[in-house]
Structure 1
Amino acid sequence: MKEFYLMRHGQTCFNVQHRLQGVCDAPLTEVGIEQAKKAGQYLAKQEPILDHLFSSTSERASDTLEIVTGRTDYERLKGLKGQDFGAFEGQPEYLLPKPLPDGQGFGDYFLQFGGESTTQVRDRMELTVRAIMESVAEGSKSLLVSHGPSILQFCRRVLNPTPELHGLKNCCILHFSYDQGQFALVSIYNPVEEEYIFGGEE
């Protein structure tokens, strides 16, 4: 069995301004930095020896990883990036259409604006995370820093049933196991509120 922690980046300026950021980027705020520090404190208490570190190519994700771990020996992967919202990138969130039911996100809506569909996000996230897990050694532990919508769609692809999740707050940490090609969700922890949203560690 292999384990990994999949977490969202800390708060950014665009989060505060309620602007869409998928492939576009915005720096961490002071609050975001503190959130990442709290996430690091939580992981330190779990005492995992992190054998491998991965981040999306966005600076808000790589900066979060460096604050959490104090390390720079990580790999940046485009497959872990946020959803591409096309022409909506950087625009106010109130311009978004209403999400589809049953966790389908926005379906194909953003394709017409040069962005990604929900299925495309699910495909690349599963492909990327599965490739990571197949490349690391048995018994290893990894940390992956990605983005809220991408993480949610990954969960909806690989988990059945999928826990009721209505967005992930900044720096939420999802603990997974991977065994014989199967993903299992162990817990979801919100380090800012210091509470488990799902499951809980022994």
Structure 2
Amino acid sequence: MLTLYLIRTGDTEYDGQGRIQGTLDIPLSADGRLQVQKAAQELAEQQPPISTLYTGLSRSVLQTAQLVGEQLKLKPKKLTTLGNLDHGLWQGMLVDEVRENQPKVYKRWRESPESVCPPEGETLSSAKERLQKAIDKLAKKHKEGTIALTLPRPLSAVLHSLLSQEKLVDLWHVEEEGATLWEKLSYSPEAKDD
């Protein structure tokens, strides 16, 4: 069985403003860097230690992976399949703007995000497929052990849902202040097929 640490990126200015980031290339904010440094220290204390660190390519994800990698003495390995969910024309908008301008779509997105595709964006099922293929490939490569994936929000929520079998709701929910940026999950290809 593969142990997987899911590491969410630290905050960006867009997070602080309540904007939808999607695939936009936004750097970590000063607060985001502090969040990641704290998480990196916590991850360094975990046993067994993380052997490999994978990351997507956006700036905030790379910055998060680099800060964690420095603490863990690991060089992050980049994977294009770990790119964030493409929110299409919603990217850059305030979440409140979507709620006010498209209240029915917003409500459906919060309650059942798989039933909505952002205009010119990526469907959630497409993102799930992409992530599942990436995880399956990593599981074949690592079979056992402990790896970490650095993912942006909301893609991290999609992966959490895939691995925990929990229903995916409210992708734009910001974690409570003081919440950790990481969680430890297990992955067994056999369990997925059950």
TM over 0.5: yes
- C-alpha distance in structure 2 between counterparts of 1:44 and 1:21, whole Å: 29
Structure with more of its chain in helix, by fraction: 2
Amino acid at match of 1:75: K
- C-alpha distance in structure 1 between counterparts of 2:132 and 2:111, whole Å: 16
Match of 1:54 in 2: 54
Aligned pairs for 1:170-189 (under 5 A) are: 172-182=181-191
Cα offset, 1:16, TM superposition: 1.4
- Which has the bigger relative contact order, CA under 8 A and spacing at least 6? 2
Gaps of at least 5 residues in structure 2 are 99-104
Q: 2:121 aligns with which of 109, 115, 118?
A: 115
- C-alpha distance in structure 2 between counterparts of 1:26 and 1:4, whole Å: 26
TM-score, normalised relative to structure 1? 0.77
Is it true that 1:144 corresponds to 2:152 in the alignment? no
Match of 2:135 in 1: 129
Cα offset, 1:88, TM superposition: 1.7
Cα offset, 1:80, TM superposition: 1.5
Cα offset, 1:14, TM superposition: 1.1
Cα offset, 1:106, TM superposition: 5.6
Gaps of at least 5 residues in structure 1 are 184-202
Cα RMSD after superposing both structures: 2.5
Amino acid at match of 1:14: Y
Distance change in 2, residues 1:114/1:163 (3 Å):
closer
Distance change in 2, residues 1:168/1:181 (3 Å):
farther
- C-alpha distance in structure 1 between counterparts of 2:13 and 2:42, whole Å: 24
8 Å CA contact 1:22–1:81 kept in 2: the answer is: no
8 Å CA contact 1:10–1:171 kept in 2: the answer is: no
Percent of counterpart pairs with the same letter?
Answer: 22
TM-score, normalised relative to structure 2? 0.80
Give the secondary structure class of the aligned counterpart of 1:98: helix
Aligned pairs for 1:40-79 (under 5 A) are: 40-70=40-70, 71=73, 73-79=75-81
- C-alpha distance in structure 2 between counterparts of 1:38 and 1:157, whole Å: 26
Structure with more of its chain in strand, by fraction: 1
Distance change in 2, residues 1:116/1:163 (3 Å):
closer
8 Å CA contact 1:152–1:165 kept in 2: the answer is: no
Give the secondary structure class of the aligned counterpart of 1:91: coil
Match of 2:159 in 1: 154
Distance change in 2, residues 1:182/1:10 (3 Å):
same
Segment of structure 1 superposing worse, 62-71 or 88-97 = 88-97
Query: 1:101-157: CA deviations, max 9, x gaps?
Result: 7853163331xx22111111211112212211221142x211100022212223333
8 Å CA contact 2:54–2:79 kept in 1: the answer is: yes
Distance change in 2, residues 1:163/1:131 (3 Å):
same
Amino acid at match of 1:177: S
